[in-house]
Amino acid sequence: SAVISQKPSRDICQRGTSLTIQCQVDSQVTMMFWYRQQPGQSLTLIATANQGSEATYESGFVIDKFPISRPNLTFSTLTVSNMSPEDSSIYLCSVGQPGTQYFGPGTRLTVL
């Protein structure tokens, strides 16, 4: 299994600002994923981040709003840009290993 940590665990931000969420894994992994869980909803994939290449975004998500970095095989960041109250969600990173994925504890974001 993989141990995943995220920073910050939670934050309250003002409308129009940006927040960068960090995801650290205790082992080298090829594929990392970022998901969003809106209040009372299921998880939706934002993008897939592979080291050394541009992130691949799912329909409805764009790089200008959710820029992602993947500088090495154990670390990734997701930035939520120009935030609005609709961005209030839990953001989770996960790593893919054969036949399963492991999730970080999540970052609970509230935008006022």
Partner 1 sequence: AQSVTQLDSQVPVFEEAPVELRCNYSSSVSVYLFWYVQYPNQGLQLLLKYLSGSTLVESINGFEAEFNKSQTSFHLRKPSVHISDTAEYFCAVSDRENQGGKLIFGQGTELSVKP
Contact track, partner 1, 21-50, x by CB under 8 A: ---------xx-x-------xxxxx--x--
* Tokens coding 81: 């840009």
Residue number with CB closer to partner 1 (14 or 40): 40
Sign of the dihedral through C-alpha 90, 45, 65, 85: negative
Size of the site for partner 1 (CB under 8 A): 23
Nearest distance, CB of residue 35 and partner 1, angstroms: 8
Residue number with CB closer to partner 1 (85 or 98): 98
Residue ranges of E strands in the chain: 4-7, 10-13, 19-25, 31-37, 43-50, 56-57, 68-72, 75-80, 89-97, 100-103, 107-111
Sort strands 31-37 and 107-111 into parallel, antiparallel or unpaired.
unpaired
- Tell me which residues in 65-104 interact with partner 1 (CB under 8 A): 92, 94-104
Residue number with CB closer to partner 1 (19 or 34): 34
Nearest distance, CB of residue 33 and partner 1, angstroms: 6
* Tokens coding 7: 């920073």
